[in-house]
Structure 1
């Protein structure tokens, strides 16, 4: 007589296959959203730094003036408007300079000509910068104030939302 048990699945095997399949499906269901959350921002197109209108060129003076502007910011899926500030003025060469008011020492906000005349001053740790935004030796900041990239079109000044470091002492 031939034995037909070779083609049959035992109860133990059936339960093993079923639980493995269900466990794999549940594991995939748990991991898929996490992978999607981690990968989705990478797949979205990166916005290039759009320039933002700040003021007219004829309003710029040789004395730094603090201007505020808003930029769109995206953190994952959260989109918001963020207010940024810049000191805009003509430097000693007559070129436009747009400096970030964030101290390069610890990130406090600097002011123009508060303690000393013709200097940027950081009240947190007595950080000082000269009229060009370069750090003064012997004070806490180790590099000049960062600057904004800008462009001028039709008499209007536009700033990039991001700053970059400058060379200097």
Structure 2
């Protein structure tokens, strides 16, 4: 009898194992929830790829664009307009850009972007009689030297285009910070 009491004492602290069975309602909830999540992921993944894919594409350098004959360039800055093909994500366009191209005292050709570094207005050469032989911004009075050096108001010099002269033509490339000043 003592063996029987020991055996009962050992099993008194343990609860009997109950098997839980899944109800039909739980089975349908799990099945429909899983199928809905699978279909939702099937719709969201292509949308995410569409939105993120342009960001993951490698950046390319700007292509060289033929702008003007080299013989037309003088030591006085002259405005030239040109079109570039650009791709912004999924949108392709051909905007018209402008560059002020001239020669320095050594005869080297250079091109400046006419966008003022103060607030983005367009600068013009000799546009104000007070600032002779300078680029002048009509919006807030910023002015620059022929090399694009900022003299007043603007915090930075005008940006400069990469430039090459080939087969008698001036080609413009990537826009970057001014290396002349």
Smaller-chain TM-score bracket: 0.7 to 0.9
- How many residues align? The count is 160
> Could you list the per-position Cα deviations for residues 113-145 of structure 1 after superposition, in whole angstroms to 9, with x for gaps in the alignment?
011221100000001111221111xx2112211
1:38 counterpart = 2:51: yes
User: Which position in structure 2 is the counterpart of 1:134?
Assistant: 149
Counterparts of 2:89 and 2:127, CA distance in 1: 39
Secondary structure of the equivalent of 1:31?
helix
User: Which position in structure 2 is the counterpart of 1:27?
Assistant: 40
> Could you list the per-position Cα deviations for residues 3-54 of structure 1 after superposition, in whole angstroms to 9, with x for gaps in the alignment?
xxx8x86312321222222221232034213311233214445433110000
TM-superposed deviation, 1:167: 5.1
TM-score, structure 1 normalization? 0.85
Structure with the larger strand share: 1
Q: 105-114 or 90-99: which moved more?
A: 90-99
Counterparts of 1:119 and 1:9, CA distance in 2: 84
TM-score, structure 2 normalization? 0.80
> Could you list the per-position Cα deviations for residues 131-161 of structure 1 after superposition, in whole angstroms to 9, with x for gaps in the alignment?
221111xx2112211100011111111001x
User: Which position in structure 1 is the counterpart of 2:132?
Assistant: 117
Counterparts of 2:93 and 2:38, CA distance in 1: 37
Question: Given the superposition, is the C-alpha separation of residues 168 and 141 from structure 1 closer, same or farther in structure 2, using an over 3 Å criterion?
Answer: farther
Unaligned segments of structure 1, at least 5 residues:
1-5
Structure possessing the higher radius of gyration over alpha carbons? 2
Unaligned segments of structure 2, at least 5 residues:
1-18
Conserved in 2, the CA contact under 8 Å of 1:68 and 1:84?
Answer: yes
* RMSD, aligned CA: 2.0
TM-superposed deviation, 1:88: 0.3
User: Which position in structure 2 is the counterpart of 1:163?
Assistant: 175
